[in-house]
Amino acid sequence: MTDRTPRRHSARELIALLADGSHQGFRELPYPTREFKLDGPLAWQGYDTVRAHATARTGEEESVVCGTAHIDGTPAVLIAFEFGFLGGSLGERTGDRLESAYEYARAHRLSVVPLVATGGSRMQEGMLALTQLQRVARQSVLTREAGLPQIAVLRDPTTGGGWATLGAGADVVLALPGAQVGFAGSRVRPADADPAAYTAEAQVAAGAADAVVHPEALRETLALWLRLLNTGSAGATGAASTATARPTEAAPPPPPLRTAPLPTTGWDAVQRARSPQRPRAEAYLDAYFTRRAAISGDRCGGTDAGMACGFGECAADGRTVAYAAQLGTATRPAGYRTAARLIRLADRLGIPVLTLVDTPGAANDAAAERQGAGAAIADLFGAVAAARTPVTTLLIGEGGSGGALALAAPGSTWATSDSYFSVIAPELAAAILKRPEGEVESTADQLRIRPQDLVELGVVQGIVGLP
């Protein structure tokens, strides 16, 4: 083991690290029984001996340990892979255990926490091993439809089908630092492949995982995520729980961070929205939430530092509210896709959503077009339109065209006195109309973009932060 190689906890060591009451707080679930013929379903010579050696070495009878535990008071089903047992590989008996664990979670309305460390499917069981991925995928989908969260932890290594189902298929994906993470394991990838691309850090940078978490912070981080995402699950709007769902109350708009008179002209509104002195999204989020946890990435290969998304504990009443906030930059396609992902997850869990609009508009460079800007914006419009959970919007700065409107909730949008909303930036409007530069300010007035204009036009419901 080099200094850069992460320590590999056994399944039960990690369970003891996370569960309340140490290892005694973990209750292992009963496992289905499956009898194999000699050397397994393929009669692979020596398979029984290999399994016996794995059991003697690890003390486990299969590559996964499943049970229930409380993590800082919140119950969950833990699925811990034992990499020492045949590389944490998936076989038929592994599939039996995973299916049973997911069924238990749904029956008892518990979150599922896969602690993944696997090299893939078990060769000694051939295609029967590979088809376990279909079983796992179905269980994950049924759990998602039941409105229950899935929070995966990627350990070293997480490769193959285990990454492509239990890992990448989770709602929130955390990873231990330095873990090998990728669909291709180290022995099957191209010889000239850059190993840095197959790491936890690379997957976060590519938008495939949410965060790297050090082992000493893992229990606290998981506990926060479980508390936040379980707040709404009793009233989730997922397909399996619609009949008993409680109405979800809308999140209130954030209170004003300062009082200011309304802008006198359209150009005054633009200048105030662009002023570096006005409050930005981070200030609103800090005031609105006592604590929060962020998601990152669009799961399509991209991230956008100008879009902050996650879940937080509302300071006003302690409930969980999801948030998607533009940070004042031109929003990139990955930002729109990440916000859409956030809204759909909140909708499934019955958690209200707060959005903060602040962008000069969508990124319009060539890279943005190649990354599917139009499709990403359309996807966000669709997510907001389809949401059954309430979405509340506060316009806190620039509202630049459709790139801003995509994040706004129809009929539930408020504005600050430091903001404007426009079909197009005044400078661009003047240029399109072939007006001289000196007419930009009068064009801003014609567009009627001041907060009070927006109220009169019915675009926003009201203005916060008036004297």
- Closest listed residue to residue 96, CA positions, set 34, 37, 35: 34
Query: Angle at CA 171, nearest 5°, toward 282 and 96?
Result: 160
- Cα 9 from Cα 19, distance rounded (Å): 14
- Closest listed residue to residue 103, CA positions, set 143, 44, 56, 144: 143
pLDDT reported for residue 433: 92
Q: Look up the pTM and report it.
A: 0.93
Largest separation between any pair of C-alpha atoms in the chain: 87
Q: How far apart are the first and last CA of the chain?
A: 63
Residues 6+ apart with CB under 8 A from 428: none
Tell me how long the chain is: 467
Helical packing angle, 266-273 and 440-447, nearest 10°: 100
- Cα 426 from Cα 267, distance rounded (Å): 8
- The share of the chain scoring above pLDDT 70, in percent, equals 95
State the amino acid at position 123 in one-letter form: M
Helical packing angle, 11-18 and 215-230, nearest 10°: 60
Write the pLDDT tens digit of every residue in 36-47.
889 999 999 999
- Report which DSSP code applies to 18: H
pLDDT in tens, the chain (467 residues): 444 566 789 999 999 999 998 555 899 999 998 888 899 999 999 999 999 999 999 999 999 999 999 999 999 999 999 999 999 999 999 999 999 999 999 999 999 999 999 999 999 999 999 999 999 999 999 999 999 999 999 999 999 999 999 999 999 999 999 999 998 777 777 878 788 888 999 999 999 999 999 999 999 999 999 999 997 544 333 333 433 344 679 988 888 888 889 999 999 999 999 999 999 999 999 999 999 999 999 999 999 999 999 999 999 999 999 999 999 999 999 999 999 999 999 999 999 999 999 999 999 999 999 999 999 999 999 999 999 999 999 999 999 999 999 999 999 999 999 999 999 999 999 999 999 988 999 999 999 999 999 999 999 999 998 87
Token digits of residue 387 = 């949401």
The answer to whether 290 touches 313, Cβ cutoff 8 Å, is: yes
Q: Are strands 420-422 and 391-400 parallel, antiparallel or unpaired?
A: parallel
Residues 6+ apart with CB under 8 A from 87: 63, 118, 119, 120
- Cα 446 from Cα 450, distance rounded (Å): 10
> H or E stretch including 268?
helix 266-273
The answer to whether 337 touches 245, Cβ cutoff 8 Å, is: no
Helix, coil or strand: residue 237: coil
Write the pLDDT tens digit of every residue in 260-296.
899 999 999 999 999 999 999 999 999 999 999 999 9
